[in-house]
Structure 1
């Protein structure tokens, strides 16, 4: 009886090779769907139906959710129902033969070079937090790594002598990415002047970037940092950690980088994902 969320949560944590962030995303999608079912007086997953699922998808569209978001949520729900069916907790799978909305590749938003410079110049204090924020922003923009990769970096992943970082991206693919001199300088400044102050007594902390409690920086924590500096820089765009990654890619294309090289640096498995940045650069040129 019920929704068996605890059982499913235990299953994906023990059986699926997923990162913590991916697991949180999966469970968040399922919880949102369950809350929708409860709002429709469906208190047992066995009473859910194809009609209820379609109604949920339509509600997401009405709320303005992108087709890519709906696809992702539907994928999470499919996995959930497959688990329930496999374990004979339900007798039928409502996601069978369900057709999601057409998934259109959305052109991401990026900062102009001037906007990126203004954002990076915001943390200019000599306190530990400002020095850390400056190093994080500079490293993210200079390497184009994902925010999940940034906050997952450990001290051992940075080779300061040869100026490169080592990160594990999607599908556990390892990448070696050079660190430009400017970003390396701010990283060195953080390691020499700020990190020890922030970690306090947590001397065994392996994380490269830590919060004010001396623990690994979280995605939510870094999101707040970006939002704060976006406001102080007076940038009239929706700026997220991913925006800096997009900006890095567009500026590489602008400087004449080969699209295959950009694909390798970003860690894209499909070059069509990378080619979006050429299109975005063209769109930005039209608006100059």
Structure 2
């Protein structure tokens, strides 16, 4: 099992070009499966659909939520499909497995006034104020993922043409517009503050730490939380919340769902459709509040 799992992870990295985070997620599922089979003294060649169903049921029983169980099921199905395609197994025992239905939980968002309150509360005159303001403006203006913002480089930013080129999931590159307010904040940061953070070994990443290095995702999360607290926002604020707010506010403003899909870099329109539920929930709340028989 260990050798086959190693081979599969290598395949994901070299042939599929999938991210290290995805590889780690798959590895965790396969390690859990290996432990499950080891306890039952069951070799990989003897694994059938029933055994895989029991494994996934055990994962659910251990407290794995539906969305995580769905991901684990996909990992198992892709792994065994890969084994069967390479003749390592006579058949694919995972093919009949059904993925659990995803939770219909709606993404959290910030109200437009709260976003404005958060962004306008950051004083550019304070130390790192320009950097932090530019980061949060760019999150909300362009709907970037945390990893995309941390990896954004100067050579991929074109303020004259009002866009930034980012590399997202699956190593896919897309071009995203940069709004006027974000553009002004980024330009102000680049002109007045970034040069003070640059050290001899600094890279071309747009956002730098006080030591001149690339900002880590954990540090950006911390900055967002600190800025939200200073703005007096009680809601739990995190980078992806600004991405959710970006998409929701676009939909509320009348943007086409396909355009939002393109801006977010979603491979499947079904992923973007969660925002239609958010908009529907808002409409119901407005109807209930203002309709005489709501």
TM-score, normalising length from structure 2?
A: 0.77
**Aligned twin of 2:137:** 138
Distance in 2 (CA, whole Å) between partners of 1:43 and 1:197 is: 60
TM-superposed CA distance for 1:33, in Å, is 4.5
Distance in 2 (CA, whole Å) between partners of 1:134 and 1:183 is: 9
Distance in 2 (CA, whole Å) between partners of 1:234 and 1:133 is: 16
Secondary structure of residue in 2 paired with 1:167:
strand
Count of residues in correspondence between the two structures:
284
Indicate if the aligned counterparts of 1:157 and 1:166 stay in contact, CA closer than 8 A. Answer: yes
Of the structure 1 ranges 38-47 and 254-263, higher mean CA displacement relative to structure 2 is found in 38-47
Q: Which runs of 4+ in 1 moved over 6 A?
A: 88-92
TM-superposed CA distance for 1:137, in Å, is 0.8
- Name structure 1 gaps, 5 residues minimum: none
- Shift in alpha-carbon separation, 1:82–1:128, aligned structure 2, 3 A: farther
Secondary structure of residue in 2 paired with 1:111:
coil
Q: Does 1:261 align with 2:259?
A: yes
**Aligned twin of 2:238:** 240
For 1:93-152, what per-residue CA distance to the aligned partner results, in whole angstroms no more than 9, with x for missing partners? 552322221235542221111222233345436455432222111101011232233223
Of the structure 1 ranges 186-195 and 76-85, higher mean CA displacement relative to structure 2 is found in 76-85
Secondary structure of residue in 1 paired with 2:35:
helix
2:213 pairs with 196, 212, 215, which one? 215
Distance in 2 (CA, whole Å) between partners of 1:161 and 1:270 is: 31
For 1:23-59, what per-residue CA distance to the aligned partner results, in whole angstroms no more than 9, with x for missing partners? 3223233225414653785398835845554344335
For 1:138-197, what per-residue CA distance to the aligned partner results, in whole angstroms no more than 9, with x for missing partners? 101011232233223211111122322223445665433332221111101221233233
2:31 pairs with 24, 31, 34, which one? 34
Secondary structure of residue in 2 paired with 1:138:
helix
**Aligned twin of 1:12:** 12
**Aligned twin of 2:97:** 98
Map 1:42-191; keep pairs closer than 5 Å.
42=39, 46=43, 49=47, 50=49, 53-62=52-61, 65-85=64-84, 94-121=93-120, 123-124=122-123, 126=125, 129-170=128-169, 174-191=173-190
Secondary structure of residue in 2 paired with 1:176:
strand
**Aligned twin of 2:290:** none
- Shift in alpha-carbon separation, 1:5–1:194, aligned structure 2, 3 A: farther
Q: RMSD over aligned Cα, in angstroms?
A: 3.4
Distance in 2 (CA, whole Å) between partners of 1:224 and 1:143 is: 20
Indicate if the aligned counterparts of 1:128 and 1:197 stay in contact, CA closer than 8 A. Answer: no
Indicate if the aligned counterparts of 2:29 and 2:75 stay in contact, CA closer than 8 A. Answer: no
For 1:187-230, what per-residue CA distance to the aligned partner results, in whole angstroms no more than 9, with x for missing partners? 01221233233331124x12222334433333333233333334
Distance in 1 (CA, whole Å) between partners of 2:62 and 2:130 is: 39
Q: Does 1:281 align with 2:279?
A: yes
- Shift in alpha-carbon separation, 1:46–1:275, aligned structure 2, 3 A: same
Distance in 2 (CA, whole Å) between partners of 1:231 and 1:210 is: 22
Which has the greater radius of gyration?
2
Indicate if the aligned counterparts of 1:37 and 1:52 stay in contact, CA closer than 8 A. Answer: no
Distance in 2 (CA, whole Å) between partners of 1:175 and 1:40 is: 42
